[in-house]
Amino acid sequence: MKQIRKKGLSIFIIFSLLVAMTAHVPFTFANESTLLLNTSFEETEAPKSGWDQLGAAKWSVWKPTGSPVVSIAKDASRTGEYGLKITAAQSARAAVSQDVPVQGGKTYQLSTWLKTENIVSGQGARMRVVLYEGTQQLGLLYSSRLTGTNDWSQIKMEVKTPANADSIRVQLFFETGTGTVLFDDVSLQLIQPATSIVIEESETTIKEQETASLHVKMDPADASSKISWESADQTIATVSNGTVTGVKAGETTIMAFTDNGLYATSTVKIIKNDAIERPEATELDLQPKELQLESGQVRLLQAIIAPANADAEKLVWRSSNEAVASVRKGLLEAKSSGTAVITVETEDGRLKSESQITVTDAVQDEYDQLRKKRESLMTGLDSYDPSNERMNEMIESQTKSAEALWKTMFKNNDRSFLWFDFASTDDSADIRDSYRNLTIMAKAFANKHSSLYRNPQLLKDISEALEWLYQNRYNENIAQYSNWWHWEIGVPNELNSLMVLLYDYLDQEKVHRYLNVVDHFQPDPTKSGATTPEKYREALGANRIDVSKVVGVRGVIVKDAGKIAAARDALSQTFENVTEGDGFYEDGSFVQHGNIAYNGSYGIVLIEGLTDMFELLSNSTWKVTDPKVTNVYDWIENAYEPFMYKGALMDMVRGRAISRDFLQDHQAGHTIIKSVIRMAQFAPEPYAEKYKSMAKYWMQEDSYLDYFQNAGNFRDITLAKQLLENQAVTPRGDLDFHKTFASMDRVIHSKPGYAFGISMYSNRIQNYEDMNDENRKGWYTGEGMTYLYNADLAQYSDDFWPTVDSYRMPGTTVDTMRRADGSGEHRSSEAWTGGSTLKNFGTAGMSYDAWNSSLIAKKSWFMFDNEIVALGAGISSNEERNVETIVENRKIRNDGSNELVINGEKMDFSSGVQNHSVDAKWAFLEGNVSGADIGYFFPEGKSLNIKKEERSGAWKDINYGGPAEQIKRFYTTIWFDHGIRPNDDTYSYVLLPGQNQEQTSQYSQKPDIQILRNDPSVQAVHDVMENIIGANFWKDEKQTAGPLTVYQKASVTMQEKDGVLEIAVSDPTMENKGYIEIEIDGKAFKVLEADENITVENTKPSIKLKVNVSEAKGKTFTAKLKMIPSQKGNSPNSIR
């Protein structure tokens, strides 16, 4: 059983875009049998509160933008006397609404009839449902939409209410635009839809002209859903109400689907019925009669038999000159210059037809060479090794996928879609997905090692499907709808790939006609929105690479030198490091969509696309020669390597991609490994050697996911195998570094055995991104969430994101309000986010101002050698809700057996009580594997809340397009409860990665750290063992922590060792247009080193520094001083 994504049909649609919008007043629960009132608008009233001319009782009007006319009118009626009319001469938005009490956890069907005239709008006319619990908005649901001019049509949608919902607001919506819409006969009914459907006969075999009955089983058995039947190929078998009739020998798929979007399939095989009398064939005609080809081209000849039902099961094909042209089952291959006669005849020789073939030798030009190079890079077939078991598995898997798609593709002449799953006419993703399916089929067809290689019927079906898509879904006369990306990047990429794969099999007229549409939607490699003037814009970041690749590859196929050159030149814009907006920053940050940290998603797209283009154009007339390309080589080390941990790519820079079940952190990491290995093939030294070293290390260390099992290209497998076998390449080894990515509010602290990451946000960077129904519960992933990577390489893979408690992300301080999916995307009001880096240590902080809440806090992290110290101060809120700080939320073994020890006492959860509150000085959590233990030290000894629980969830919960299957995982969660309306509360804890129980206990008795201050003005920690001080100064005023006095907002990390003081200073606010003044209680002989932005004004009797941070963008500046040895009488605050 599958779920249909039928956005554009009249079956249903559910889009949840959870945005707070209008006020909601609670009301008494009414008799549910009434549901909607005045559904045909016959009960009218004088206009008021937004109504124009005539109003409708029980309905209210909302006009957020423009001046639409909203009225009850006689000319808007479908039935009865009146209907609802909304019209806008100029751009406007309006809705007519009614609030309805509902039961939580139930399903309702909402429908309306509507008629449209000249609606010009991105979202058109549709229905929207707002879900509520009391006055708290829980989410939004949308129906399919109508634009343009349409006669009366009914649209329906299912409304599945959350368990806690108690009311909904039904809205008849005219989305921003112009035109007129009429609504009438609205209905809301409580239904019991099917939750699953299966055809009991998974396979059936019958003879021609015989019938068989298929039976559907729905759950629940008394479901209200209605069932329809379809045959994927009516020339093989037809179906009516479950009765299948065989038409001719072959195999097809029969589908049963419900009106609420479920479907099931059955394979039906039709065998020849020898009892049927068939007429004798009287005519045989081979088309075309003449054909001129170049060597290497392949065409499908068509043998037409009359009558159509004649008994002519076998046809014999021959070529008069196999050296010139060969033929197999109608598939003709031109081999060398000359002429040949292709003959087809019946087996008994009674009927025969011929075609004259003329072949000329193909002349390969540079475009052809590049096209073939593109095909080789795309398929990797040149690297196929028949002795490689993994490659053979890949071919078998790819063939099976192609066969399954072929079997379920609708081939009927009157089809309105190619696949049930992608039948929408208002969701552009279905166009891209249809083309993508054809690409999968074409790859199998063009793969000489596949059993589908050059299958004539497969070529025919792919060719006809391409033409159907051109005529019905993607041509120059169709206006963009839904997501621009599909029109300008997604579909063009698939079409380019298809034309590369099928170039020798299709007429040039078709190739150019299909690719003319690509040029229509994406003609300029520097711009997006060519067919939407109001959205015409510069293409930036990863999108710039995507559009350049679209234009460049198309230019290769159609042999357009100007387009190839333009695409190459457009790449140069991405080589530049930016200082704002989308792109790479000098510190290694990568930002997309203006303010989202995206090294691990759009950054992957960018580096993959650049690698593709570099390889494609290398050694050609259009090779990349821009000297700034060295920046690209630097990015690997500065922007990608820091976020890789033993083959996994850290989720803190993957944005909404964390919600994709098929792209968890190790799969994403392997895309980086692939690109790094590819770049090593053409990058100059010393880059190439570095790339090989790091890639080899990642592959060897990734014990969670085998790179070869995850690879999808023969060439990538071969290159990786060669690298691992190359003894001259030494694996890089563990990293020991600390880095502040100030331009995207991220921090990485990496040590042998573990890596620690912090994901923050500010008035520059957004907290998280929810888009296209992805990452619906990412609320706190950028609000100080911390990640601890260790030997447990499955921690953030193995279905972490759909099962973790999204309200309790490690490191965060949260108001425990209920959240709607997708709510709270925002930038903070606070500028103070960032940190300072001193060698391989560092300090980070975030001034926190919670969304939709009065909660504020100052949060700091101090990352030393063997511990990470976390401090919170000024935690205050006026809300009547608890505030929590999450110390840990870690996925543990599936049986929950990990030991959890508090103050030396093993916690016992056997009683079934999940939550424990204890006063803790230290804690120990046993890791899932050796090397994954974690110790915790609590300097203040505050009360802790501890939970060990089995949690369940589905990827669909966080990504509406994901699988709905429930998954279970065990978690241990540790948090501080600051209570209701906390005032100036604090917290402190120390993470001890890799420490066992005994080591943690010993640390608690003699900790290496001392908290110098933890208040809303300063947070500072002294690592006594390493003699390091980290301090965050939150105010522009004189403040002192230990030996350190600072006069402006700043982050400082300093260490005195072996008579040398090193200090690192930054302005995390990026708003100081002048200096940071610092005074240190100590004396120095001299300045050994100092960045040019640092002025050392005094070295004794105290050290005074002045740091110019104007336009520094959060950068850390450092200085090194030779200290005067400590003497008796020094200040007790002296760092020595």
Amino acid occupying residue 93: R
What would the pLDDT profile of 322-342 be if each residue is shown by its tens digit? 999 999 999 999 999 999 999
490 within 8 A of 432, measured Cβ to Cβ: yes
Instruction: Tell me which DSSP letter residue 76 carries.
Output: G
Q: Average of pLDDT values for 221-244?
A: 94
Which tens digit of pLDDT belongs to each residue from 457-508? 999 999 999 999 999 999 999 999 989 999 999 999 999 999 999 999 999 9
Locate 4 and state its tokens: 């249909």
- Whether 1046 shows a pLDDT value over 90: the answer reads yes
Percent residues over pLDDT 90 in the chain: 88
Nearest residue to 671 (alpha-carbon basis) of 618, 719, 605: 605
CA distances from 428 to 143, 157, 660, 681, 960 (A): 15, 19, 19, 37, 16
Lowest mean pLDDT among 38-42, 223-227, 822-826: 223-227
* Other residues' Cβ atoms within 10 Å of the Cβ of residue 1127: 9
pLDDT digits (tens, 9 = 90+) for 624-635: 999 999 999 999
Handedness of CA 969, 974, 978, 979 (dihedral sign): positive
For residue 849, pLDDT beyond 50: yes
Q: What is the pLDDT of residues 652-695, one digit of tens each?
A: 999 999 999 999 999 999 999 999 999 999 999 999 999 999 99
Residue 366 has pLDDT above 50, yes or no: yes
Of 443, 530, 429, the C-alpha closest to 488 is 530
Separation of first and last alpha carbons in the chain: 71
Tokens of 633: 């080589």
Based on the residue annotation, tell me whether 486 is a catalytic residue of this protein: no
Q: What pLDDT does 21 receive?
A: 31
Q: Given a cut of 60, is residue 1010 above it in pLDDT?
A: yes
pLDDT of 1134: 58
102 — phi, psi (to 5°)? -140, 170
Question: Among the options 602, 645, 780, 960, which is catalytic?
Answer: 602
CA-CA distance, 630 to 575, in Å (whole number)? 8
Q: What average pLDDT score do residues 200-220 get?
A: 95
pLDDT at position 33: 45
Average confidence (pLDDT) over 649-653: 98
Q: Taking residues 27-35, what's their average pLDDT?
A: 44
Q: What is the DSSP string of 647-702?
A: TEEPGGG-GGGGG-TTS-HHHHHHHHHHHHHHHHTTPPTTHHHHHHHHHHHHHHH-
Which one of 454, 486, 593, 890 is the catalytic residue?
593
Looking at every residue in the chain, the average pLDDT score rounds to: 93
Indicate whether 25 pLDDT > 60.
no
- In 893-984, the DSSP E strands lie at 900-902, 905-906, 915-919, 922-925, 934-937, 943-953, 967-980
Q: Answer whether residue 30 shows pLDDT above 60.
A: no
Q: Of the residues 128, 520, 554, 656, which is catalytic? A: 656
Average pLDDT score over residue span 25-30: 35
Contacts of the segment 391-400: beta carbons below 8 A, 24+ positions apart: 391/714, 391/717, 394/712, 394/714, 395/447, 395/449, 395/450, 398/440, 398/443, 398/444, 398/447, 398/450, 399/444, 399/447, 399/450, 399/451, 399/452
pLDDT value of position 139:
85
Would you say residue 22 has pLDDT above 50? no
Task: Quickly state the pLDDT bin for 122 (edges 50, 70, 90).
Answer: confident
Domains contained in the chain, CATH given = 2-191 (2.60.120.260), 196-271 (2.60.40.1080), 283-360 (2.60.40.1080), 364-567 (1.50.10.100), 576-733 (1.50.10.100), 737-1013 (2.70.98.10), 1035-1123 (2.60.220.10)
Please give the average per-residue pLDDT across 197-225, as a whole number: 94
Q: How far apart are CA 52 and CA 870, in angstroms?
A: 59
Token pair of 211 as six digits: 């019938």
Q: How confident is the model at residue 29 (pLDDT cuts 50, 70, 90)?
A: very low
* Cα-Cα-Cα-Cα dihedral sign, residues 848, 854, 855, 857: positive
Q: Give the list of residues 6+ apart from residue 311 with CB closer than 8 angstroms, or none.
A: 278, 279, 280, 281
- What pLDDT shows up at residue 121? 87
Nearest to 105 by CA among 125, 131, 141, 79: 131
**Residues 836 and 1053 sit within 8 Å (Cβ to Cβ):** yes
318 sits in which H/E element: strand 315-319
Please check the confidence at residue 16 and state whether its pLDDT lies above 70: no
For residue 101, say if its preceding peptide bond is cis, omega within 30 degrees of 0: no
Is 24's pLDDT higher than 70? no
Task: Indicate the pLDDT class of residue 1135, thresholds 50, 70 and 90.
Answer: low
> Rounded mean pLDDT of 750-765?
98
- The answer for residues whose C-beta is within 8 angstroms of residue 843's C-beta and 6 or more apart is 835, 836, 860, 861, 862, 863, 1030, 1031, 1032, 1051, 1052, 1053
Picking from 162, 219, 221, 161, the residue whose alpha carbon sits closest to that of residue 190 is 161
Mean pLDDT of 1114-1131: 82
1127: confidence class by pLDDT, cuts 50, 70, 90: low
pLDDT at 172: 98
- Are the CB atoms for 402 and 455 separated by under 8 Å? no
Work out the average pLDDT over 187-208.
94
Q: With both helix axes pointing from N to C terminus, report the angle between 389-408 and 714-725 in degrees, rounded to the nearest 10.
A: 160
Please list, in sequence order, all residues whose beta carbon lies within 8 angstroms of the beta carbon of residue 921, skipping any fewer than 6 positions away.
903, 937, 938, 941, 1004
| Distance, CA of 741 to chain centre | 22
Determine the average pLDDT of the residues in 47-67. Answer: 94
Per-residue pLDDT for 955 more than 80?
Answer: yes
Asked if 615 and 621 touch (Cβ cutoff 8 Å), the reply is no
Is position 390 annotated as part of the catalytic site?
no
How far is the CA of 346 from the CAs of 276, 317, 353, 718, in angstroms?
20, 9, 10, 47
- Residue 6: pLDDT band by 50, 70, 90 thresholds? very low
| Of residues 462, 413, 405, the one with CA closest to residue 437 | 405
660 CA to centre of own chain: 6
Higher pLDDT, 471 or 281: 471
User: Mind listing the pLDDT tens digit for each residue in 873-900?
Assistant: 999 999 999 999 999 999 999 999 999 9
Q: Above 50 in pLDDT, residue 18?
A: no
Looking up tokens 């990047």 gives 489
Q: Tell me, what's the pLDDT at 309?
A: 82
What is the predicted pLDDT for the residue at 14? 29
Question: Which range has the worst mean pLDDT, 131-140, 451-460, 608-617?
Answer: 131-140
Q: 497 and 378 in contact (C-beta within 8 Å)?
A: yes
Q: What is the pTM of this model?
A: 0.87
pLDDT at residue 534, as a whole number: 85
Contact present, 643 and 650 (Cβ < 8 Å): yes
Which residue has tokens 């291959």? 333
Phi, psi dihedrals of residue 58, rounded to the nearest 5°: 75, -10
Q: Is 738 annotated in the active site?
A: no
Residue 596: what are its φ and ψ, rounded to 5°?
Answer: -115, 130
Distance (Å, whole) CA 187 – CA 190: 10
